[in-house]
């Protein structure tokens, strides 16, 4: 069995308003940061997972992302995978 | 109707389960039974309420973890049989996360947790959940949520409108919901999800009785 470290990024779809991102953008400007054009907040989920090779692990992660980590009505996801 | 029993689902973090039970038993004389979320035996209940609260601490997304409980797995067959399911607030969020109703509920536009009474237009009589058979009506119900902004894509919205699945719309949209949507039904009409709390409006002494009809309609066939 191989072990992989996976980082999953879940983001609100561009069409979904992100009020928390807007509030943080506003605070960033108040802090004095210049040039911020947009700021959106997502989630990062770290998973360590075993499997027989990368393809099998990708299958498991795809299922997790599609059914649990993200709600695809409002969110997109992508992930990176590193063999340990 | 003597034996008609409404199952009130209790998740870890539910906090409106007792209000729903009190409103049904005390105000409407309808028998209730608490259903722990790990139970999958729905054989002795005739309708189900998914109450408000913060199931599983709202971890990941509101309603996302509750979706995987044994009870929600058993709900599919219950809904297909035509029995009635009412999802209030967190219950509505669970119904969208688990695919019984389309769309999703996301953070309020102004990021505030809004606790207020709101005026609502009854849009559709589908399922008979509201007392509006012959004319448009407005009711007043309490809301209490941080993540009640209904969101769906334009195709879904068109389907909701065309099939008369929008049950309630806010008169003065408090949270930024698409198309002012406060509650929707499934196509069959036996599943209703709404952010306002009808169980908190069942007695004049605690803020009106506009919620009574919706709870009472749980016993409709």
Residue-wise pLDDT tens digits, A13-68: 999 999 999 999 999 999 999 999 999 999 999 999 999 999 999 999 999 999 99
Q: How far is B210 from chain A (nearest CA, A)?
A: 32
Rounded CA separation B91/A69 (Å): 20
From the CA of B64, how many Å to the nearest CA of chain A?
7
Centre a 10 Å sphere on the Cβ of residue B68 and count the other Cβ atoms it contains. Answer: 14
Residue of B nearest to A45 (CA): B60
Residue B101 near residue B193, CB atoms below 8 Å? yes
Check if the beta carbon of residue B126 is closer than 8 Å to that of residue B85. no
Asked if B48 and B6 touch (Cβ cutoff 8 Å), the reply is: yes
Q: What is the pLDDT of residue B221?
A: 78
- Per-residue pLDDT, averaged over B146-157, amounts to 96
Mean pLDDT of B178-195: 97
In this prediction the ipTM stands at 0.84
User: Do the Cβ atoms of B151 and A71 come within 8 Å?
Assistant: no
Model pLDDT for residues B22-57, shown as the tens digit of each residue: 999 999 999 999 999 999 999 999 999 999 999 999
Q: What pTM does this model have?
A: 0.93
Q: Is the minimum CB–CB distance between A72 and chain B shorter than 8 Å?
A: no
With pLDDT > 70 as the criterion, what percentage of chain B qualifies? 98
Q: B110 to chain A nearest CA, in Å? A: 7
3-class DSSP state of B78: helix
> Cα Rg for chain A, rounded, in angstroms?
16
A16 near B CB under 8 A:
yes
In this prediction, residue B118 carries a pLDDT of: 97
B134 pLDDT higher than 90: no
pLDDT band at B109 (very low <50, low <70, confident <90, very high): very high
- Tell me, what's the pLDDT at B147? 95
- Mutate: best of B99, B106, B108, B160, partner A, most A CBs <10 A: B106
């Amino acid at each position: 069995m191989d072990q992989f470290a996976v980082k999953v990024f879940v983001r609100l779809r561009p069409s979904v308003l992100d009020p928390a991102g807007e509030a943080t953008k506003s605070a960033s400007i108040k802090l004095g940061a210049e040039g911020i054009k947009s700021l959106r907040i997502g989630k990062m989920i770290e998973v360590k997972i075993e499997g027989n090779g990368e393809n099998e692990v990708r299958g498991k992660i795809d299922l997790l992302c599609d059914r649990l980590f993200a709600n695809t009505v409002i969110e997109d996801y992508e992930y990176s995978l590193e063999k340990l | 109707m003597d034996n008609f029993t409404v199952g009130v689902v209790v998740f870890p973090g539910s906090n409106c389960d007792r209000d729903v039970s009190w409103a049904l038993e005390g105000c409407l004389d309808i028998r209730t039974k608490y259903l722990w979320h790990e139970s999958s035996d729905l054989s002795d209940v005739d309708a189900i309420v998914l109450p408000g609260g913060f199931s599983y601490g709202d971890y990941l997304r509101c309603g996302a973890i509750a979706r995987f409980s044994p009870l929600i797995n058993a709900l599919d067959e219950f809904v297909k049989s035509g029995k009635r399911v009412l999802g209030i607030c967190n219950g509505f969020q669970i119904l969208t996360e688990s695919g019984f109703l389309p769309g999703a509920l996301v953070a309020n536009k102004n990021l505030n947790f809004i606790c207020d009474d709101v005026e609502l237009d009854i849009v559709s009589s589908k399922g008979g959940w509201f007392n509006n058979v012959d004319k448009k009506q407005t009711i007043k119900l309490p809301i209490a949520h941080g993540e009640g902004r209904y969101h769906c894509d334009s195709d879904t919205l068109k389907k909701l409108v065309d099939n008369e699945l929008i049950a309630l719309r806010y008169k003065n949209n408090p949270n930024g919901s698409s198309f002012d949507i406060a509650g929707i039904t499934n196509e069959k009409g036996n599943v209703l999800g709404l952010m306002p709390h009808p169980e908190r409006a069942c007695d004049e002494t605690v803020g009106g009785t506009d919620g009574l009809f919706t709870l009472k309609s749980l016993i409709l066939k």
